[in-house]
Chains A and B, each alone.
Chain A
Amino acid sequence: MELIELQDICKTYHIGQVDVPVLKGVSLKIDRGDHVALMGASGSGKSTLMNILGCLDRPTSGKYWLEGRDVTNLSPQERASARNQKIGFVFQNFTLLPRTSALENVMLPLSYTPDNLSEREGRRRAAELLTRVGLADRMDHEPSQLSGGQQQRVAIARALINHPPILLADEPTGNLDSKTSEEVLEMFGRLNVEEGITVLLVTHDPGIARHAKRIISIRDGQIENESHVEGQGPGFSPALPGPAPAESGVAGGREGGSS
């Protein structure tokens, strides 16, 4: 059984009197333990697709099965609980609570988990995750005292606190320099290989997308093509026909730095 199955997903925004179709029938399947990059230029609809995959938004039409369950028609409460239990979010701008320690930031999703974990158990689990992302000595630091890479690692730890099967990363390296981007991407790869977590990476940068096992390109609200990256893995960086388009200056720098 697939972890995620989309069938003919359409999404249309109504802006005034005008209908703007953003997704025009997307169908895809993602298996458990897969590492997928969702790639597309801005305006291609990849963010909308990610919102739908993340149960933040509902498709206008089509079906979406998450772990075999149809989540298209869930109530807002049920979708919230799905986000809490099944999906870990990593955002481009980290979105940590300011003036709150890393540990408590990691514990944030626990406040909305129905099974009441004791405070101590929650702390233990958060500390364990922070150790795993290499921040054992930064637990009591506030976001402002952490570097961008460290902040993103806190965000990853937060995404993992409820042991979700899926990690949804929206341009996770967009605000990071090339070195830390590499570290973060490596961490995604490790989580995928070692923990068997399904990682879904949304990016516009082919260089970053290449860290995944499978790349799905989106253009104009439709899946353009799908490709499997050969022999991918941490540190894998095949030669590309030149750096990515102008918008990916950061990624371009990374290319230069790592190869």
Chain B
Amino acid sequence: MRIYRPTKTALRALLRNPMRAMLTILGIIIGVAAVIAMMEIGNGSSAAIRKTIASMGADILMVQPGTAASGGVSFGAGSILTLTPEDCDAILKECPAVRAAAPIVRARAQVVHSNRNWVPLYIYGTTPAFLDVRDWNDMAEGEAFDERDVRNSSKVCLLGQTLVRELFPGEDPVGKDVRIQNVSFRVIGVLRAKGANMMGLDQDDIVLAPWTTIKYRVAGTSLGNVNQSSNTSGAGASATVETLNNPYPTEKVELYPQPSDIQAADTPQPVRFTNVDDIMAASRTSSDIDAASDQIAKLLHERHRIPTGKPDDFSVRNMAEMTQALSSTTTLMTNLLLCVALISLVGGGVGIMNIMLVSVTERTHEIGLRMAVGARAGDILKQFLVEAILLCLAGGALGILLGHGGSYLIRVFLHWPVQTSLTAIVAAVAVSASVGIIFGYYPAWKASRLDPIEALRYE
């Protein structure tokens, strides 16, 4: 009730001169509209920048196997193989901060097509999720392999642009065959160009294939140099694969008599799962990187049953440098927009104060009358203050509509990335209300200090 009456009075006073009220709030409208539009466009571009940086790999986490050590001599990261494809599935399933995860099996081999050959920087055996992780889903040509290819260890591959240039000059590689380590792969797709990464390494110098294929048909070496029990099928495969002149590397040579079921039951062998070289995971947002990192570490710690006090047999790395650059970019952008917002709103506020002062002078007579019929100084103060606040809030509301509409038009016609920002709207309302209070107070105070006799005599 205490605020209802002054609000009604103020509203009536404002509606008595809608044109002036409109002109008064124009400053606020433009200010808030600019803030909203700017924030939305800024948010959009900063999201776009974030996405670009993320596609450069800022949100990527590398899970690498731990180090082997013997007699105080450490062999460095990756010297033992402890990661399995199941780890990768578990990471995707149980770590909420992880968007995608893909196992990686590396190989280094010559890729041959007709009379040309090339040793690519990366031959990655992986799953289709790798493209999600690297944000590389849109192919330049053809299409990616799928889960079925991984299960069947199909001999299909995707080529990076560098390989296309080196092996297929002036040719369409899709549908053609390349040979890697004497295994023939059908090219089913060509990756979009990605250029060099932060370290200057050519990211297009890559062959992607199902990890099962690379592991079992090409990169036998990735098991051969590992200190695991030699009784796994993988070890057997590696023995055959390493023979360069064997045209059918999958063909298993029975070197030893196979143990019968009873023999197998009597002498249980430690079961080693298939290993992968790395797991590459991507966090949901770039701010989730630390959370994702922790979740993965915790999960693998449990899955690998690491006793407390023992070092983990894996390590999780992220691109901290890049992440830092990313977050500083966004912070800078936000601060810049905030400055612009404040300046324009202060401008609008000065406009409000100006008009309110004029209005107080113009309505001196009215103020005198109100005082004569019983208005106290506080009533007058309240009325003008409420008027200013109402003006600012109305300006804020119109500004929000205008700014939102403006950014919508920009999105529709200029195709700029735009993102609605609730924070900006809340901030605009809060700031316009406080502008109303701050800049409305002085005129209102001045009005309330008028002498009723003088005011009534004023013409």
On A, residues with C-beta under 8 Å from B are 51, 54, 56-57, 76-77, 80-81, 83-85, 89, 91, 95, 97-100, 104, 108-109, 111-113, 116, 158, 162
Which listed residue, A51, A81, A99, touches B453 by the CB 8 Å rule? A51
Query: Is there an interface contact between B374 and A113, defined as CB atoms closer than 8 Å?
Result: yes
Query: Is there an interface contact between B374 and A85, defined as CB atoms closer than 8 Å?
Result: yes
Given known pairs A76-B377, A97-B16, the reply for A108 and B372 (CB within 8 Å) is: no
Query: Is there an interface contact between B16 and A56, defined as CB atoms closer than 8 Å?
Result: no
Query: Is there an interface contact between A83 and B1, defined as CB atoms closer than 8 Å?
Result: no
Query: Is there an interface contact between A95 and B365, defined as CB atoms closer than 8 Å?
Result: yes
Given known pairs A77-B376, A84-B373, the reply for A57 and B453 (CB within 8 Å) is: yes
Query: Is there an interface contact between A54 and B12, defined as CB atoms closer than 8 Å?
Result: no
Given known pairs A95-B365, A97-B366, the reply for A108 and B452 (CB within 8 Å) is: no
Assuming A77-B376, A80-B375, what are 15 further A-B pairs, CB within 8 angstroms? A56-B452, A56-B456, A80-B374, A83-B371, A83-B373, A83-B374, A84-B375, A89-B372, A91-B456, A99-B16, A99-B17, A108-B373, A109-B373, A109-B374, A111-B9
Q: Can you spell out 10 A-B residue pairs with CB atoms less than 8 angstroms apart?
A: A56-B371, A80-B377, A83-B371, A83-B374, A100-B16, A108-B370, A109-B374, A112-B370, A112-B379, A158-B373
A116 proximity list for chain B (CB < 8 A): 1
A98 proximity list for chain B (CB < 8 A): 16
Q: How far is the CA of A108 from the CA of B383 in the complex (A)?
A: 13
Residue of B nearest to A91 (CB): B456
Residue of A nearest to B452 (CB): A56
Which listed residue, A81, A100, A104, touches B374 by the CB 8 Å rule? A81
Which listed residue, A77, A80, A84, A97, touches B369 by the CB 8 Å rule? A97
* Closest chain B CB from A138 CB (angstroms): 19
Q: How far is the CA of A69 from the CA of B63 in the complex (A)?
A: 90
Query: B5 contacts the other chain (Cβ, under 8 Å)?
Result: yes
Query: Is there an interface contact between B372 and A83, defined as CB atoms closer than 8 Å?
Result: yes
On B, residues with C-beta under 8 Å from A are 1, 5, 9, 12, 16-17, 365-366, 368-379, 452-453, 456
Query: Is there an interface contact between B376 and A56, defined as CB atoms closer than 8 Å?
Result: no
* Closest chain A CB from B22 CB (angstroms): 15
Query: Is there an interface contact between B375 and A112, defined as CB atoms closer than 8 Å?
Result: yes
B9 proximity list for chain A (CB < 8 A): 111
The 7 closest A-B pairs by CB, nearest first: A84-B374, A112-B374, A109-B373, A99-B16, A80-B376, A95-B369, A112-B375
Q: How far is the CA of A191 from the CA of B372 in the complex (A)?
A: 21
Residue of B nearest to A77 (CB): B376
Q: How far is the CA of A54 from the CA of B373 in the complex (A)?
A: 10
* Closest chain B CB from A158 CB (angstroms): 7
Q: How far is the CA of A111 from the CA of B6 in the complex (A)?
A: 8
B376 proximity list for chain A (CB < 8 A): 76-77, 80-81, 112
Is the contact region of chain B dominated by helix, strand, or loop, or is it mixed?
Answer: helix
Q: How far is the CA of A97 from the CA of B85 in the complex (A)?
A: 82
Q: How far is the CA of A56 from the CA of B456 in the complex (A)?
A: 11
Residue of B nearest to A75 (CB): B376
Q: How far is the CA of A91 from the CA of B453 in the complex (A)?
A: 12
Given known pairs A76-B377, A104-B12, the reply for A54 and B372 (CB within 8 Å) is: yes
Q: How far is the CA of A111 from the CA of B379 in the complex (A)?
A: 9
Residue of B nearest to A99 (CB): B16
Q: How far is the CA of A54 from the CA of B396 in the complex (A)?
A: 43
Residue of B nearest to A104 (CB): B12
Q: How far is the CA of A83 from the CA of B377 in the complex (A)?
A: 13
Residue of B nearest to A86 (CB): B374
Query: Is there an interface contact between B370 and A100, defined as CB atoms closer than 8 Å?
Result: no
* Closest chain B CB from A99 CB (angstroms): 4
Query: Is there an interface contact between B453 and A56, defined as CB atoms closer than 8 Å?
Result: yes
Query: Is there an interface contact between A100 and B373, defined as CB atoms closer than 8 Å?
Result: no
B16 proximity list for chain A (CB < 8 A): 97-100
Residue of B nearest to A162 (CB): B374
A84 proximity list for chain B (CB < 8 A): 373-375
B5 proximity list for chain A (CB < 8 A): 111
Q: How far is the CA of A198 from the CA of B310 in the complex (A)?
A: 101
* Closest chain B CB from A139 CB (angstroms): 16
* Closest chain B CB from A95 CB (angstroms): 5
Q: How far is the CA of A104 from the CA of B370 in the complex (A)?
A: 13
Query: Is there an interface contact between B375 and A56, defined as CB atoms closer than 8 Å?
Result: no
Query: Is there an interface contact between A89 and B452, defined as CB atoms closer than 8 Å?
Result: no
Q: How far is the CA of A162 from the CA of B372 in the complex (A)?
A: 13
Residue of B nearest to A57 (CB): B453
Residue of B nearest to A89 (CB): B372
Q: How far is the CA of A76 from the CA of B448 in the complex (A)?
A: 12
Residue of B nearest to A100 (CB): B16
Residue of B nearest to A108 (CB): B373
A83 proximity list for chain B (CB < 8 A): 371-374
Q: How far is the CA of A120 from the CA of B212 in the complex (A)?
A: 84
A85 proximity list for chain B (CB < 8 A): 374
Q: How far is the CA of A56 from the CA of B373 in the complex (A)?
A: 10
B371 proximity list for chain A (CB < 8 A): 56, 80, 83
* Closest chain B CB from A248 CB (angstroms): 20
* Closest chain B CB from A15 CB (angstroms): 14
* Closest chain B CB from A129 CB (angstroms): 14
A111 proximity list for chain B (CB < 8 A): 5, 9, 375, 379
Residue of B nearest to A116 (CB): B1
Q: How far is the CA of A80 from the CA of B365 in the complex (A)?
A: 17
A162 proximity list for chain B (CB < 8 A): 374
Residue of A nearest to B379 (CB): A112
Q: How far is the CA of A76 from the CA of B379 in the complex (A)?
A: 12
Q: How far is the CA of A113 from the CA of B379 in the complex (A)?
A: 11
Q: How far is the CA of A111 from the CA of B368 in the complex (A)?
A: 15
Q: How far is the CA of A116 from the CA of B378 in the complex (A)?
A: 17
Residue of A nearest to B9 (CB): A111
Scoring A81, A108, A113 by chain B CB atoms within 10 A of each residue's CB, the highest score goes to: A108
Given known pairs A98-B16, A100-B12, the reply for A56 and B372 (CB within 8 Å) is: yes
Q: How far is the CA of A84 from the CA of B366 in the complex (A)?
A: 15
Q: How far is the CA of A85 from the CA of B374 in the complex (A)?
A: 8
* Closest chain B CB from A164 CB (angstroms): 10
Q: How far is the CA of A21 from the CA of B167 in the complex (A)?
A: 111
